[in-house]
Amino acid sequence: MKRLHKGFLLVALFVCLIFTGFVFAEESQIEIDEELLKSIAAQFPNSVLSEEEKIKELEWFARTSAPFKGMTISSVGEPIPTIIWENEVLAPLFEKLTGIKVMSDAIDEGMVVETFYRQIASKQHIYDIYINDTDLLGTHMRKQSCVNLTEFMANEGKDFTNPYQDFDDYLNLEFGQDYDGNQLQLPDNQFVNLYIFRYDWFNDPKYQAMFKEKYGYELGVPLNWAAYEDIANFWTNDVNEINGVKIYGNQDYGKPSPHLGWRITDAWLSIAGVGDKGVPFGYPVDDWGLRAEDKIPKGFSVSRGGELNGPAAVYAVDKYIEWMKKYAPPAAVALDCFESADIFGGGNIAQQISMYTCFLASDAYRSPE
């Protein structure tokens, strides 16, 4: 996603500032610091863009943002590594390039949502940009609480929309679209949910032989729920220790918090069979078990046509609790998402069925130990 962050930021910037008073300068009057462009381009080595392409795009940013120089915009997101990077690295570079200051806060996810709702209800300005889950898309649609970016970029924001923006370069744009395909949110970072495991342990001939002798099939990445449970039991109880250190076949978290909701709703129920087919969430029953008809929510319960208390959902929640209690470290039930994130990096967990990629940028996964 080569232009993900700055594309999002500039679109949001001009949505916030386009109707404020300013005087346009002639393009020929705008001085461009070529050395500055080169120094900023050098900060983004991991790109499919050539040096020339990066310079060309950065120059467009510098020229187009000139009328807004000296202004300030505010944004808020939760304190995950990608947001911290945006605050500490991207925002200062953006200010150097454009002269626009970005005041970025990183606060607890629950507070992000609470502040967002308070701004909608009070109609008092708190932040210009909210980096929030696309799970709030329904709220945006009902409350008309954000700009329709598709319409904005085609009309009043056309001159301020990055012409080099490649929307096919984004992952899962449909998650931020309304029923008519209008873009209400642009991806800023991805909470891709992974299965993660100790490759070295799984490929150790000794453990492979032990596993096959007891369970009757090869040790490897599980292809179903039963296999995950077998593997969790194998490492937790059959192997039990490696080099004198207690190991576990699962890691999870159970502390009541907003993140616990995402743990269950981020595809966990649909993996068990909840919901109908359809992009992005399933229709008429989505991956949360909510039935919608004619774009109107009808209900979660089976009695109202939903699936949240149906057999698949009950099975998924029961297994989540059972596996955490039987195969994860005892402290797991008292951890929240952030507290749990680095545990796997400690090295004594064999596998974890739910790991967000954004957490893999932490120091726990950089150490050779």
CA 272 to chain centre: 22
Give the mean pLDDT of the chain. 88
279 falls in which pLDDT band (50, 70, 90)? confident
CB 326 within 8 A of CB 307: no
pLDDT over 70 for what percent of the chain?
91
* Residue 343 pLDDT exceeds 60: yes
pLDDT for residue 72 is more than 90: yes
The residue extents of the domains of the chain are 4-176, 193-254+312-365
- Evaluated on CA atoms 17, 23, 27, 30, the torsion sign reads negative
Q: E strands of the chain, at which residues?
A: 72-77, 101-106, 129-130, 193-197, 241-242, 245-246, 291-293, 296-299, 351-356
CA distance 38 to 40: 5
Which among 237, 253, 286, 200 is positioned nearest to 359, based on CA atoms? 253
The secondary structure of residue 238, as a DSSP letter, is I
Residue 52 has pLDDT above 90, yes or no: yes
Secondary structure class of 349 (helix, strand, coil):
strand
Question: What is the CATH architecture of 193-254+312-365?
Answer: 3-Layer(aba) Sandwich (3.40)
Q: What is the pLDDT of residues 122-169, one digit of tens each?
A: 999 999 999 988 888 888 888 888 899 999 999 999 999 999 988 888
Between 303 and 137, the higher pLDDT residue: 303
Structure token pair of residue 94: 């953006």
The contacts found for 199-206 with CB under 8 angstroms, 24 or more apart, are 201/235, 201/242, 201/350, 202/350
CA distance 317 to 290: 16
Q: Are 270 and 350 in contact (CB under 8 A)?
A: no
Going by pLDDT thresholds of 50, 70 and 90, the confidence category of residue 172 is: confident
CATH number of 4-176: 3.40.190
Range name among 8-22, 82-96, 182-196 with the lowest pLDDT average:
8-22
The 10s digit of each residue's pLDDT in 216-233 is 999 999 999 999 999 999
Domain 4-176 and domain 193-254+312-365, same fold? Reply is: yes
